A = this chain, B = another copy of it.
Amino acid sequence: MTRAEENYIKTIFHLGGNHSGLISTNAIAEQMETKPSSVTDMAKKLAEKNLLNYVRYQGVSLTDLGTKTALSIIRKHRLWEVFLVKKLDFTWDEVHEVAEQLEHIKSEKLIDKIDELLDFPKYDPHGDPIPTKNGEFQERDKQLLSELNSGEHGICVGVKDTSTAFLKFLDKNQIALGDEITVLEKEAFDDSLRIEIADKQLQISNQIAINLYVKVEI
């Protein structure tokens, strides 16, 4: 597989192309910052290779082979991210760009050894789950912080937005994965939250709360 093909497969997976519905040419083009006509060309090519189901004028979905391929690429991406943070002291906002390159390295032995070196991590630095070698993919039970009500609390387990700006904001405010967050008050007017984290109180906007995942203790 070429790098371009792998990038299409990965993007389609992230857009939900394995589930019921079809993903539109436009949606893919927008996500990949390319033109719909380019997507059409590639869709035909990948359908030919049995990686996609492609229905003209309707969109695409991943075949089983396509899904397996996507999971393999995502596995590599996330393992490399963990490697960069744990072994090379990269910060969580620096890893994406480099992992985008490393995910295309072709060597099964390499990625299995990296997995072993890292002691088989289950989540990447942003809290996203790492598929196993067999393509098993366990989505963590989580919800957005914005869905919590006053008095409820949870453990911060991931971010939705992985932009540098957002990640640096979290660092600055000392919000990290694993921290316990309690919602003290929810302001009805703008949906901002007053939260307690590590014995400190903090006021955060809804924009922050809809990009932080928490796991609620039962």
Instruction: Tell me the A residues contacting B by CB distance below 8 Å.
Output: 84, 87-90, 94, 97-98, 101-102, 105-107, 109-110, 113-114, 117
Contacts and interface: CB of A to CB of B under 8 A. Distances in A.
Contact of A107 (B87, B98, B114): B98
A117 B84 CA distance: 11
Given A94-B109, A97-B107, 15 more contacts: A87-B117, A88-B110, A88-B114, A88-B117, A89-B113, A90-B109, A90-B113, A98-B107, A98-B109, A98-B110, A101-B105, A101-B106, A101-B107, A102-B105, A105-B105
A189 B50 CA distance: 61
Q: At the interface, is chain A mostly helix, strand, loop or mixed?
A: helix
A105 B107 CA distance: 15
A107 B90 CA distance: 12
Contacts of A110: 84, 88, 98
A105 B98 contact: yes
Nearest to A97: B107
Contacts of A101: 105-107
A203 to B, nearest CB: 35
B105 A88 contact: no
